[in-house]
């Protein structure tokens, strides 16, 4: 069969035709495809003929007792097979979740793995009837159009969306494995010169995230005491910049902390994300007097259409309780001007 057309059609292909095509392509048999689809063999044949007319090319070679895909048919099968599988998977998920309460959250990967996920079991114990879906991505989504209920974001206060709820701020502090500190003395800032320092490799290229760099911290703490007279008539001791032994760079905060946990160096960590590790002793804060304030804070944003759903309100209440515990653990006192509440 050879189909030609001087003006190829541009309207969408009927989904039923694609189902028939997929079945015939898998079975290479019109009768078997009809049995799968609960259609007669002739009905399947008519759908394939209609599809070929729409496409403008033959999709099968019809032999006496066999059917064979053409090159155009093989090309279409590569596309339709994956597309139909995705549609079927989405329908199964919708059917399974129909009638169930759920909360969808978007946040970034490091925050999800280091702060949110370790706490989720407590919420699930309290609310076993609420399903949780976490979309961990560095790309910010538009809550007005995306299929999510809540966003957890990390921005400076002036960049927080209107109505955002401040969860906690942060300080940056050097942390290291207790095993590393047994081998290497780290009692003062100057001892860092013998250490490997771990930080985010792309922080210098991103506005505001430069606050997370060792360079910022060293600008504040990496010099000796102010010039002083060693003795009457002696020359002043000039302050000097500290230079570490080597650097180790990672893309994500959880990678930085994991490297510190395994003793690979000293990380400049975000205190809210390592508070649990410090409390358990998995990490040690060797220079607690050198905590550096960060202008960034962690925020909760609720999608307008999700505001009044009971399950969303329950999750927001629980989230703010967890945030209050983190604020207490890190000694964070929020600015009243940056705090908002759910209606």
Contacts of 7 (CB under 8 A, 6+ apart): none
Same domain, 285 and 250: yes
Give the per-residue pLDDT at 239.
41
For residue 116, what are the domain limits? Answer: 101-169+297-338
Same domain, 280 and 137: no
Within a domain: 2:
no
- Which CATH number characterizes residue 219's domain? 3.40.190.10
The residue from 50, 73, 97 where one domain ends is 97
Same domain, 280 and 309: no
**Residue 202 pLDDT greater than 70, yes or no:** yes
Within a domain: 232:
no
Q: Cα torsion at 90, 93, 98, 104 (round to 10°)? A: -90
Query: Per-residue confidence at 307, pLDDT binned at 50, 70, 90?
Result: confident
This model's pTM is above 0.75: no
The rounded mean pLDDT for the chain is 85
**Residue 168 pLDDT greater than 90, yes or no:** yes
Query: Per-residue confidence at 240, pLDDT binned at 50, 70, 90?
Result: very low
State pLDDT tens for residues 130-167.
999 999 887 778 887 778 899 999 999 999 988 999 99
Domain count, the chain: 3
SS3 of 132, please? strand
Contacts of 117 (CB under 8 A, 6+ apart): 134
Backbone phi, psi, residue 163, to 5°: 85, 0
Q: How many helices (H) and strands (E) does the chain have?
A: 11, 12
C-alpha span between 121 and 117 (Å, rounded): 8
Same domain, 19 and 109: no
The residue from 97, 125, 156 where one domain ends is 97
- Which CATH number characterizes residue 70's domain? 1.10.10.10
């Amino acid at each position: 069969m050879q189909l030609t057309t001087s003006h190829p059609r541009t309207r969408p292909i009927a989904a039923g035709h694609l189902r028939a095509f997929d079945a015939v392509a898998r079975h290479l048999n019109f009768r078997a495809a009809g049995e799968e689809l609960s259609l007669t063999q002739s009905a399947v044949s008519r759908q394939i003929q209609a599809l070929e007319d729409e496409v403008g090319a033959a999709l099968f070679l019809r032999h006496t007792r066999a059917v064979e895909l053409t090159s155009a048919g093989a090309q279409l099968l590569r596309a339709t097979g994956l597309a139909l599988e995705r549609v079927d998977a989405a329908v199964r998920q919708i059917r399974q979740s129909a009638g169930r309460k759920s909360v969808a959250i978007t946040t970034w990967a490091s925050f999800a793995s280091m702060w949110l996920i370790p706490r989720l079991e407590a919420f699930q114990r309290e609310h076993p009837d609420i399903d949780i879906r976490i979309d961990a991505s560095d790309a910010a989504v538009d809550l007005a159009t995306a299929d999510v209920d809540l966003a957890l974001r990390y921005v400076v206060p002036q960049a927080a969306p209107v109505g955002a709820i401040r969860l906690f701020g942060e300080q940056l502090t050097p942390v290291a494995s207790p095993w590393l500190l047994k081998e290497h003395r780290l009692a003062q800032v100057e001892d860092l010169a013998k250490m490997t320092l771990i930080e985010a490799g792309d922080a210098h290229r991103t506005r505001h995230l430069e606050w997370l760099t060792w360079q910022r911290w060293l600008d504040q703490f990496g010099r000796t005491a102010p010039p002083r007279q060693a003795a009457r008539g002696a020359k002043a001791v000039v302050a000097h910049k500290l230079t570490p032994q080597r650097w180790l760079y990672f893309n994500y905060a959880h990678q930085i902390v994991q490297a510190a946990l395994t003793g690979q160096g000293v990380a400049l960590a975000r205190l809210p994300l390592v508070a649990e590790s410090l409390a358990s002793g998995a990490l040690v804060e060797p220079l607690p007097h050198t905590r550096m304030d960060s202008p960034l804070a962690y925020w909760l944003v609720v999608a307008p259409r999700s505001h009044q759903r009971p399950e969303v309100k329950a999750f927001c209440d629980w989230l703010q309780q967890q945030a209050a515990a983190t604020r207490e653990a890190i000694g964070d006192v929020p600015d009243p001007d940056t705090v908002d509440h759910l209606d």
